[in-house]
Amino acid sequence: AKSEPLRIMISGAPASGKGTQCELITQKYGLVHIAAGDLLRAEVAAGTENGRRAKEFMEKGKLVPDEIVVMMVKERLSQPDSLENGWLLDGYPRSSSQAVALKEYGFLPDLFILLEVSEEILVERVVGRRLDPVTGKIYHLKYSPPESEEIAARLTQRFDDTEEKVKLRLRTHHQNVEAVLSMYEDITVKVNGNASMQEVFEQIDNALTEFIEHREAIPGSV
Ligand code: AP5
């Protein structure tokens, strides 16, 4: 029989490597990656009313109001693929009210992964980050350069990826992170995110493997 789907939250400061690790986790575990920031950027790109409002907050590095974010994430989590294959929620919740709202809708994580990265490294990662609009892949000019000239020529940069804006995003992160962490203390896995992409993934992979083995060892739990 198919085992119970995994439900994972991944959190960390701006550019701590959440998106990068989510790519590696979904490749191995087949979870549905749901990134609050990506859902918001899709609304901005589509030019919807919510997108227009969201962009005002994103440009200031502030949290987009709950009335936009909560329903958007809840609806994505409720899709059949997430319910069936399990989910990997990236960049949500970012406040205790977002965590409470999700709990009220019955979405509870099995594990809460926290990527811990020092501040100088975060700034370097932000300014070097580039995105491939064709494949959606995340690159870094120094740490994960594009594979060909063709890809290099089409890379884009996010509108909030400047040194000035990342400082504002970091401030918002520091203001909110403790309140969120306190709600998931008993299921939190802290990961040293300063290491290489592969080393960070090994720490996460070990934690997920351990969780699955432990769950399967308890009779009647699967
Ligand atoms: P969001 O898109 O979630 O941005 P963020 O939290 O600032 O995180 P990032 O996407 O910048 O970074 P990441 O951790 O995914 O890092 P990545 O893997 O790309 O949110 C944007 C905005 O939307 C917010 O400011 C807010 O306004 C709004 N928003 C989002 N969620 C919200 C919510 N729940 N409520 C309200 N508002 C919300 O890596 C970064 C770079 O480093 C890449 O170039 C990568 O190649 C490189 N890299 C990654 N890992 C390593 C490594 N180990 N070694 C070397 N380089 C690495």
Q: Ligand 1 atom 43: the closest Cα is on which residue?
A: 129
Count of domains in the chain? 1
Active site residue 129: yes
Q: Is residue 34 part of a domain?
A: yes
Annotation marks residue 158 as catalytic = yes
Q: Is residue 123 part of a domain?
A: no
Domain housing 98: 6-117+176-194
Answer yes or no: 62 catalytic: no
| DSSP-H helix ranges across the chain | 18-29, 36-46, 49-58, 66-77, 80-85, 96-104, 119-128, 149-154, 163-183, 197-217
Instruction: Indicate which residue of 18, 41, 55, 76 is catalytic.
Output: 18
95 lines ligand 1 (CB under 6 A): no
Query: Is 130 within a domain?
Result: no
Q: What is the mean pLDDT of residues 154-183?
A: 95
CA dist., res. 74 & res. 100, Å (int): 12
Residue 151 lies in a domain: no
CA 96, CA 1: separation in Å to the nearest integer? Answer: 36
Cβ–ligand 1 distance for 203 under 6 Å, the answer no
Give the model's confidence band at 220: pLDDT under 50 very low, under 70 low, under 90 confident, else very high. low
pLDDT digits (tens, 9 = 90+) for 21-57: 999 999 999 999 999 999 999 999 999 999 999 999 9
**6, 85 in Cβ contact below 8 A?**
no
Q: What is the pLDDT of residue 209?
A: 97
Query: What CATH number did the domain enclosing 13 receive?
Result: 3.40.50.300
∠ CA 126-130-134, nearest 5°, is 150
Query: Quick check: is 169 catalytic?
Result: yes
Strand partners for 88: 8, 33
pLDDT digits (tens, 9 = 90+) for 131-157: 999 999 999 999 999 999 999 999 999
- Whether 13 and 117 have beta carbons less than 8 Å apart is answered as yes
In the block, residue with structure tokens 């975060």? 122
Q: Within a domain: residue 33? A: yes
Domain assignment present for 125: no
Flag whether 87 is in a domain.
yes
Q: In this structure, which residue's CA is closest to atom 30 in ligand 1? A: 37
Q: Is residue 50 part of a domain?
A: yes
Pocket test for ligand 1, best of 64, 118, 156, 204 (most atoms within 8 A of CB): 64
Decide if 4 contacts 216 (C-beta within 8 A).
no
